[in-house]
Amino acid sequence: MKKKILITTAIDYVNDVIHIGHAYQKILADCVARFERIRRGKENTFFVTGTDEYGQKVYNVAKKLGVATKEFVDDISIKDREQQDSLKISYDRFIRTTDADHVKTASDFFKKVYDAGYIYKNIYKGLYCEGCEAYKTEKDLVEGKCPLHQNTEIQIVEDENYFFKFSEFRDFLKELYEKNADFVLPNQRYKEMYSFIDNLEDVPVTRRKENLPWGIQCPIDQDHVLWVWFDALVNYLTFGLQVNTWDKDTKIVHFLGKDNARMHALLWPCMLKAAGYELPETVYVNAFLSLNGKKISKSLGNVISPKELVEKYGVDPVRYYFLRYGPIVEDADFSDSHFQTVYNADLANGLGNTVARLAKMAEKSAIEFNVNTSQNSILKPEFTQYFDIFRVDQAAQYIWSKLSDLDKHINEKTPWAIEDKGELREILEYEISSIREIAEMCKPFMPETSEKILQTFSGGLVVAPPSFFPRIQ
């Protein structure tokens, strides 16, 4: 196992404030980061997220609203950060692509790739989706539309650009994929990305400034700015270099949605190879989240912000729900009714009820308990195996299987009916030790709840707390 780990999420484009669909990968990455801080140490775990602030789309939105582009992106970035903070996302840096150090890193990166002979000047004539901020081929479209942005007209553009020699990296990518079966996870995304390799074409990596004045200045041509994707992907490197983690001793893991998979799983490793940097170890691609059976879309009026959900249900229930039932492999649908069913079953009637029962019995016993305060449970191989493959949903299932075992033990041993103090102490200390182990494993998922449970059963006399998860009626 490598000593250090660098965990990233896709940075959010600032044409609008993020919704719960965007937030899923942040919760996922945060859960992994919290676990790794326990396993590798806080000093060896680094986690970055942030906002993507250049490009045509954001420039046009700001222009339409009649505000300065920088003023507009500042506002959205602040609001995005507030949304993440409401979920207790424990990032080490919230990076912005307008940050001075990123601007320099992206510019230097471009120059490295150019000096290595992988960038040339030519005329691009073809298709462009402003929604994706990406160039398209006819094969990418469905009935002439971008599958991800059905309401956005595909543009036919002809312009002078600098091109990245993407097509020269086909053999490199094939070798990378064939030697590293876990480079892209889950497996169906690996197969999907591999299928694109033979059809790679050179891609424009600049825009003429007269057409798009909002971008990072191209270091070799004053009339051009960097293409937003070429700049945005470099944000991971900006942070990695800042904290000295872009090296062979660091496991680099990218978390992102499947709409960003091709850029991260195909273009990004080729860019890094061209510039002479280490490659990420894993690109984890989650599926999509829908709302009440429909695509989450502002135009449809079905957007829910993370902050709204947290204010309604609490941060730990929201985190738990998405970590266990979110789109980690397959598309998932969110609804209030499903959330409430899960909340009542898993949290109110499950974890919350078990804690309440045990705390009341321990309080009534008036016994001063000795407890095991170790963190061994969270580092047992039978639990860590799920984090090794980033299946936090399966890790949550494992925790709840342990909770079921504890409930079974309580029901079989019936501590409420035992009069012998010695026997009662033995049973309750075992059960308290078990709930503490469960609480330790819950730390990456529900940090506030975990801490409350550990404090309740910290040793000595137990005082039963108020209900952690009151039932939703």
| Domain CATH number, residue 370 | 1.10.730.10
Q: Is residue 130 part of a domain?
A: no
Give pLDDT, residue 187: 96
Q: With CA atoms as reference, report the closest residue to 305 among 8, 12, 1, 10.
A: 12
Give pLDDT, residue 132: 65
**Residues 109 and 258 occupy one common structural domain:** yes
**Residues 285 and 421 occupy one common structural domain:** no
273 counts as catalytic:
no
Identify the active-site residue in 111, 112, 136, 149.
149
Give me the domain span that covers residue 424: 336-456
Concatenate the DSSP letters of all residues of 424-450 into one string: HHHHHHHHHHHHHHHHHHHTTT-HHHH
Last residue of a domain, one of 295, 326, 350: 295
Q: With CA atoms as reference, report the closest residue to 118 among 9, 220, 34, 255.
A: 220
The alpha carbon dihedral of 183, 266, 100, 221 has a sign of: positive
Identify the active-site residue in 31, 57, 102, 146.
146
Give pLDDT, residue 124: 74
**Residues 68 and 185 occupy one common structural domain:** yes
Contact 403, 351 (CB under 8 A): yes
Total count of domains within the chain: 2
4 counts as catalytic:
no
Identify the active-site residue in 4, 26, 102, 129.
129
Cα first-last separation, the chain: 47
Identify the active-site residue in 104, 191, 298, 408.
298
19 counts as catalytic:
yes
Q: Is residue 386 part of a domain?
A: yes
Q: Is residue 366 part of a domain?
A: yes
132 counts as catalytic:
yes
421 counts as catalytic:
no
pLDDT in tens, 33-59: 999 999 999 999 999 999 999 999 999
Percent of residues, the chain, with pLDDT higher than 90: 86
Q: Which CATH number belongs to the domain containing residue 265 in this structure?
A: 3.40.50.620
pLDDT in tens, 261-302: 999 999 999 999 999 999 999 999 999 999 999 888 765 678
295 counts as catalytic:
yes
**Residues 233 and 363 occupy one common structural domain:** no
CA distance 256 to 180: 19
Alpha-carbon distance values, 3 to 39, 41, 251, 296 (Å) = 10, 9, 8, 39
**Residues 55 and 189 occupy one common structural domain:** yes
CA distance 61 to 244: 36
Contact 125, 234 (CB under 8 A): no
Q: Is residue 161 part of a domain?
A: no
Contact 362, 457 (CB under 8 A): yes
Q: Is residue 471 part of a domain?
A: no
Q: Is residue 356 part of a domain?
A: yes
Q: Is residue 468 part of a domain?
A: no
Instruction: Calculate ∠ Cα 74-77-80, nearest 5°.
Output: 150
Q: Average pLDDT, whole number, for the chain?
A: 94
Average pLDDT on 110-123 reads 96
pLDDT in tens, 145-158: 777 666 666 676 76
In sequence order, what are the residues at sequence separation of 6 or more whose Cβ sits closer than 8 angstroms to the Cβ of residue 390?
28, 32, 185, 253, 255, 282, 284, 328
Identify the active-site residue in 31, 132, 218, 442.
132
